[in-house]
Structure 1
Amino acid sequence: MLSKIPFQNKLSLGYSLARSVHFTMQQMSLPFFELLVTGKSKDHPSVKHPSIEPKHLKKSFQELYHLLRKDSENIAKGLYPIEVLKPESVTKHAIRYPKILVDGYYISKRRRDHSAKEFNQEAREFLHDVPEYYQRNFHYQSGGYLTKKSADLYEHQVEILFSGAADAMRRLIIPLMKEHYPNQGENLHFLEVGAGTGRLTRFMKLAFPKVRITVLDLSEPYLKKAQENLTEFSRIDFIHGKAEELPFLDAQFDAVYSCFLFHELPLAIRTKVIDESFRTLKEGGVLGFVDSVQKKDAEDLEWALEQFPVDFHEPFYKNYSQNPMEDLITSRGFVGLRKDKGFFAKAILAQKPFSA
């Protein structure tokens, strides 16, 4: 397959493949902590689940490769610069990994005990400020989304979970955004809801260097981490708030987008987020997001969609997987829906229509 790829793409693809192998090797170390906690060896969910066949694993690896290849092609096309692949400091990465291993032990304990409401003092200080659906240890991670430690480890943990493909999945939304706004973001104002630690924000600023982005998140520790991660960029504002109750004027933004947000929301809240996005968008503006594929998107990956909420605390995921976001978006007034898919993620972009 590599022989058919233009030479200028091979370096970026080779780097991404090596990065994927690196995170996959880290992923393989985590079942050791399941053994420590339970006394039983726990294979990767894709191996353990009884309905999984070798063809399913082969298909998932093929999808991973195709995603990384698409990502390198998008770089070659100039949709976003090669700087999106800039690695972090080797020292920072190496120092963080032992912390992730230790956290893996506590994650395994919570999974064994089905404990999804375990919070330390730091997290408890924020509980009264967040809605009930948010008061849980998503993925059984320590502190849920309410501690500095969780914010420090999160991006690394997600890359381990997805074998180094999380960043490439996040970037699926950018080509769709570039179709609608082919410039560098001049005179545009984007809103990112549920921005977390600002990983997609960074990629969006590299793709649209002149855009103004307002970053909103419900977690104060994660929002602070995003500020730390994005100090190299200008024209970014940081707001603490709920995606379902946006503290902004009507018709204020040219785009409202998110990443890995909707599958962690109850259906009623998902609907409110779509409505608030519609309200705050200018006519002709776009709603965009990247999130998990749903059941009708990838039959070959259905085993993973069933197993994911079992192995990780995702109480709203089953409902999400069974209710296509395309139907929800169009039912709330958006038009011109476009989408793309890669590995376990899909990207959707839709437009707020102009008044008649």
Structure 2
Amino acid sequence: MVEALSMKIKIPYQDKITLGYSLARSAGFAAQQWTLPLFEFITTGAKKSHKALEPHKLRLAYRELFRLLKKDSENIAQGIYPVEVLKPETVARHFMRYPRIIYDGYSIAKRRKDKSAHDFDAEAENFMKDLPEYYQRNFHFQTGGYLTRESAELYEHQVEILFSGSADAMRRLIIPLVKQVHPGDGTGLHFLEVGAGTGRLTRFMKLAYPKAKITVLDLSYPYLKKAQDNLHEFDRLDFVQGAAEDLPFQDAKFDFVYSCFLFHELPHEIRRQVIREGFRVLKAGGCYGLVDSLQAEDTHDFEWALEQFPVDFHEPFYKNYTQNPMEGLLAAAGFEGLHKDQGFFAKALLARKPSE
């Protein structure tokens, strides 16, 4: 990151404060990230892969991270979304959670060593009964998978540690693409977010479109409940438990359907079904958007990361995801007019359902 900061890039004054804050936030999460391998080594004796620590790869990663955060600060300065997207949680709450993450890291390290991806307690087992088989696993080896209250409480913090504080900025990549189509405050618009998790992108979308109605859908009851708690100050939000591949909505209901970090955790055929369902519930001329991991055709510089990620974390469908471009799946479903952006390890896509 030091190299990135030393780059001779002219940054307008109005961007400096937001960029400075984002860089400091990123440095904080990166520091937490560097402590976790130590705890894993103490727990299991396993050392972090040397591939991820090669200096030229670290320099490249921090350079791309800097570019993403700079782009994010420029979007704020241009009014694409408000500075409130950067509102931090309290310092006390943040650091009181960190010991729980360290403790969970011990359990994650043990599962990784034992290759145990179906380790659930009674709470998770209770929620699992009516869920699809592909969902019944410890994604990332995390405790409870996506099926406990504790998992929902720790998840966003863990993701930010994984990506050195860039996860929120990656999520927001979709908003400028949508603003090109819907430039206002969302008056009269109805959005659907599928696989919404704890509602992090929902918050940013609601800040960008304060008058839009957003239906928030997720398979996990604990995560959906956490989303309700996280978004309690916003109005015009509906929360629905359900599967993205079998939406409980009528045809042509929504103006915009979108997801974030969903598709790489789905089997290939389920990905197709999710897109077909999105097409079905969109109004003619409506938009379909997604933010997710880079795929093989998107990058040469990060091929090593795409290969290493499913090795370090339980992501059984990730390799297939990287080899089957989402652009092709969108086109096969009938979407057109594709727009794309990418930053750090993520890309955003936006396409339209043809007008009648």
Q: Quick check: 1:196–1:226 contact (8 Å CA) kept in 2?
A: yes
- Paired position in structure 2 for 1:283: 284
Q: Quick check: 1:215–1:237 contact (8 Å CA) kept in 2?
A: yes
CA distance in 2, matches of 1:261, 1:318: 14
Q: Quick check: 2:51–2:304 contact (8 Å CA) kept in 1?
A: no
Q: Normalising to structure 1: TM-score of the pair?
A: 0.97
CA distance in 2, matches of 1:132, 1:45: 33
Task: Work out whether 1:318 is the aligned partner of 2:324.
Answer: no
| Structure 1 unaligned residues grouped into runs of 5+ | 48-52
Give 2:309's aligned amino acid: F
In the TM superposition, residue 169 of structure 1 has moved relative to its aligned partner by 0.1
CA distance in 1, matches of 2:263, 2:152: 19
- Paired position in structure 2 for 1:103: 104
| Structure 2 unaligned residues grouped into runs of 5+ | 1-6
Task: Work out whether 1:33 is the aligned partner of 2:39.
Answer: yes
Task: Work out whether 1:196 is the aligned partner of 2:206.
Answer: no
In the TM superposition, residue 307 of structure 1 has moved relative to its aligned partner by 0.1
- Paired position in structure 1 for 2:29: 23
Give 2:328's aligned amino acid: D
1:122-161 maps to which residues of 2 (within 5 A)?
Answer: 122-161=123-162
1:1-356 maps to which residues of 2 (within 5 A)?
Answer: 1=7, 4-42=10-48, 46-47=52-53, 53-355=54-356
In the TM superposition, residue 32 of structure 1 has moved relative to its aligned partner by 1.9
Q: Quick check: 1:31–1:43 contact (8 Å CA) kept in 2?
A: no
In the TM superposition, residue 269 of structure 1 has moved relative to its aligned partner by 0.3
CA distance in 2, matches of 1:234, 1:45: 46
In the TM superposition, residue 41 of structure 1 has moved relative to its aligned partner by 3.3
> What secondary structure, in the 3-state scheme, does the structure 1 residue paired with 2:210 have?
coil
Give 2:40's aligned amino acid: E
CA distance in 2, matches of 1:122, 1:266: 25
In the TM superposition, residue 91 of structure 1 has moved relative to its aligned partner by 1.2
Deviations 1:126-182 (A, max 9, x none): 111210000000000000000000000000000000000000000000000000101
Deviations 1:57-91 (A, max 9, x none): 22111110000000000000000000000000111
> What secondary structure, in the 3-state scheme, does the structure 2 residue paired with 1:4 have?
coil
Quick one: structure 1 residues 40 and 261, their matched pair in 2 at CA, closer, same or farther if it must change by over 3 Å?
A: closer
Alignment root-mean-square deviation, CA: 1.0
CA distance in 2, matches of 1:121, 1:33: 27
Deviations 1:248-276 (A, max 9, x none): 00000000000000000000000000000
Quick one: structure 1 residues 217 and 149, their matched pair in 2 at CA, closer, same or farther if it must change by over 3 Å?
A: same
CA distance in 2, matches of 1:41, 1:322: 28
In the TM superposition, residue 40 of structure 1 has moved relative to its aligned partner by 3.7
CA distance in 2, matches of 1:291, 1:145: 18
CA distance in 2, matches of 1:88, 1:38: 33
> What is the percentage of aligned positions where both structures have the same residue?
67
Q: Normalising to structure 2: TM-score of the pair?
A: 0.97
Deviations 1:218-245 (A, max 9, x none): 0000000000000010000000000000
In the TM superposition, residue 43 of structure 1 has moved relative to its aligned partner by 5.1
Give 2:36's aligned amino acid: L
CA distance in 1, matches of 2:245, 2:8: 45
Paired residues in the alignment total 350
Deviations 1:178-220 (A, max 9, x none): 0010110010000000000000000000000100000000000
